[in-house]
């Protein structure tokens, strides 16, 4: 049975109408968004870099989430990981694209970060050795290098396993995933501190990076569930994917939602109850005006609605319900990043009376511009390999579930 499924998977890797209907419109939307972004750059250069950073973090988070979840799956096993293995691998192969798309942030570092602006004369209180453009660039290069090399190793050995059916390759993937996860957490921590938290060089949080990592994983699970719901209607995935697999993935997404809410609320509770002015600045600006409305939307649509729905077993076994919840979470992830990142630019300028964070049209255009190109390249990567691991020794777990 495994060989029959593998053969069908290999034959049908490029034949899926859902991918055809998504890929070209995504490219058109991306190119149109890029044209509007270019207009925005000349109209409002400062806002361009701010909106671009939020959108970039959103679309970078999914490849990084794929990278982390792929290593977790190799370490833990389970049919849930085999069902989305190819989606995760395709996501990791998006990291080189994100390296290219990082160029506007690297070129606009002086426009984004007050510590990199020579005219701001901000007092870093002894942080100059860390917060300077040279060291910032070096750390970014190291992070991208580790992510790219790690993704290459995971994909290379997985392809070799498809080609040779050598079971020893699975052990190699397991051995490299342990140290790989450690490096993953370290590099994402440095990246989120450098690229987001340092926007305001005077504010800090020890749980900040974990909130980002959880959010990246949550967005990745939501994307995989949504795609799997679409792709599993036709061979080869229709031969092996069952409602049990969606139930498992739904449980993982529910747990990730709960973890995100727990850590986000913990940071708020500790800082608010501590009542330290330097820390309260973060939430004071986010509980005022438009940002207060955004925060309430996050509480309702990122937790109060999706979490109870995922407690229901029937909803997690329904492609329509679980797919709808996944789509809602994907939308709310960009809202969450906007709420975290955008007010920090105004927070860094210490609440000037004429500066309050509001929604700009570039905040809507930037995710579409980057996302359209991202989706086009992702589908191209997904088509390059079969939708199922051809000779994974644990492929029988999928068949047993069916």
Task: Give the DSSP per-residue string, 52-86.
Answer: HHHHHHHHHHHHHHHHHHHHHHHHH--HHHHHTHH
The pLDDT assigned to 139 comes to 97
What average pLDDT does the segment 250-271 reach?
Answer: 95
Q: Range with the lowest mean pLDDT among 93-97, 122-126, 138-142, 332-336?
A: 122-126
**pLDDT over 50 at 388, yes or no:** yes
* Average of per-residue pLDDT values in the chain: 90
The pLDDT assigned to 400 comes to 55
Residue 293 domain flag: yes
Residue 185 domain flag: yes
Residue 12 domain flag: no
The pLDDT assigned to 396 comes to 67
The pLDDT assigned to 233 comes to 85
Task: Quickly list H helices, 165-242.
Answer: 168-195, 208-231, 237-240
Confidence of residue 177 (pLDDT cuts 50, 70, 90): very high
Residue 13 domain flag: no
d(CA 210, CA 219): 14
Tens of pLDDT, residues 13-64: 545 788 888 999 999 999 999 999 999 999 998 999 999 999 999 999 999 9
Share of the chain above pLDDT 90, in %: 67
Which range of residues forms the domain containing residue 199?
A: 26-119+127-401
Choice between 69 and 357, residue whose per-residue pLDDT is larger: 69
Tens of pLDDT, residues 141-150: 999 999 999 9
**pLDDT over 60 at 350, yes or no:** no
The pLDDT assigned to 136 comes to 97
Residue 260 domain flag: yes
- Torsion, CA 326, CA 148, CA 196, CA 58, rounded to 10: -20
How deeply is 19 buried, as exposed, middle or buried, from its count of CB atoms within 10 A (0-12, 13-18, 19+)? middle
The pLDDT assigned to 4 comes to 47
Q: Which of 73, 378, 81, 57 is nearest to 215 (CA)?
A: 57
Q: How far is CA 48 from CA 28, 52, 360, 374, in A?
A: 21, 6, 10, 19
Tens of pLDDT, residues 299-333: 999 999 999 999 999 999 999 999 999 999 999 99
Q: Which of 375, 373, 363 is nearest to 37 (CA)?
A: 363
Do 184 and 122 contact (CB within 8 A), yes or no? no
pTM for the predicted model, two decimal places? 0.94
What average pLDDT does the segment 227-240 reach?
Answer: 87
Chain Cα centroid distance, residue 81: 17
**pLDDT over 80 at 10, yes or no:** no
Total structural domains in the chain? 1
What average pLDDT does the segment 234-251 reach?
Answer: 89
Q: At what angle do helices 45-76 and 85-92 cross, to 10 degrees?
A: 140
What average pLDDT does the segment 171-199 reach?
Answer: 96
Tens of pLDDT, residues 359-381: 999 999 999 999 999 999 999 99
d(CA 293, CA 357): 12
Residue 7 domain flag: no
Q: Range with the lowest mean pLDDT among 108-117, 261-270, 276-285?
A: 276-285
Residue 4 domain flag: no
What average pLDDT does the segment 125-139 reach?
Answer: 92
**pLDDT over 90 at 108, yes or no:** yes
Residue 113 domain flag: yes
The pLDDT assigned to 1 comes to 43
Greatest Cα-to-Cα distance within the chain, rounded to the nearest angstrom:
69
């Amino acid at each position: 049975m495994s060989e029959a499924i593998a053969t069908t998977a290999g034959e049908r890797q490029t034949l899926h109408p859902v991918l055809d209907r998504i890929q070209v419109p995504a490219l058109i939307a991306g190119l149109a968004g890029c044209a509007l972004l270019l207009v925005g750059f000349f109209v409002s250069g400062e806002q361009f870099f701010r909106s671009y950073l939020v959108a970039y973090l959103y679309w970078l988070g999914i490849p990084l989430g794929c990278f982390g979840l792929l290593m977790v799956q190799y370490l833990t096993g389970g049919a849930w990981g085999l069902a989305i293995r190819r989606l995760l691998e395709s996501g990791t192969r998006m990291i080189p694209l994100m390296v290219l798309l990082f160029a506007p942030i690297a070129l606009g570092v002086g426009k984004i970060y007050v510590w990199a602006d020579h005219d701001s004369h901000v007092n870093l209180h002894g942080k100059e050795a860390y917060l300077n453009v040279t060291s910032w660039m070096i750390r970014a290069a190291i992070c991208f290098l580790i992510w790219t090399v790690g993704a290459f190793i995971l994909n290379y050995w997985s392809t070799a396993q498809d080609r040779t059916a050598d079971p020893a390759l699975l052990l190699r993937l397991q051995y490299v995933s342990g140290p790989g996860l450690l490096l993953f957490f370290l590099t994402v921590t440095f990246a989120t501190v450098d690229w987001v938290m340092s926007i305001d060089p005077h504010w800090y949080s020890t749980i900040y990076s974990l909130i980002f990592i959880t959010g990246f994983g949550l967005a990745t699970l939501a994307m995989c569930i949504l795609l799997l719901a679409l792709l599993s209607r036709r061979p080869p995935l229709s031969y092996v994917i069952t409602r049990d697999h969606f139930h498992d993935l739904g449980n993982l997404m529910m747990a990730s939602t709960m973890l995100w809410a727990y850590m986000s609320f913990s940071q708020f509770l500790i800082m608010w109850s501590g009542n330290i002015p330097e820390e309260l600045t973060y939430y004071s600006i986010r509980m005022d005006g438009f940002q207060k409305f955004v925060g309430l939307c996050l509480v309702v649509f990122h937790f109060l609605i999706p979490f109870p729905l995922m407690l229901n077993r029937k909803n997690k076994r329904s492609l329509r319900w679980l797919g709808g919840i996944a789509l809602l979470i994907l939308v709310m992830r960009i809202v969450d990043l906007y709420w975290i990142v955008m007010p920090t630019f105004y927070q860094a300028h210490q609440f000037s009376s004429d500066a309050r964070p509001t929604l700009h049209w570039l905040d809507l255009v930037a995710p579409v511009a980057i996302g359209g190109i991202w989706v086009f390249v992702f589908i191209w990567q997904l088509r390059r390999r079969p939708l199922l691991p051809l000779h994974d020794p644990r492929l029988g777990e999928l068949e047993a579930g069916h």
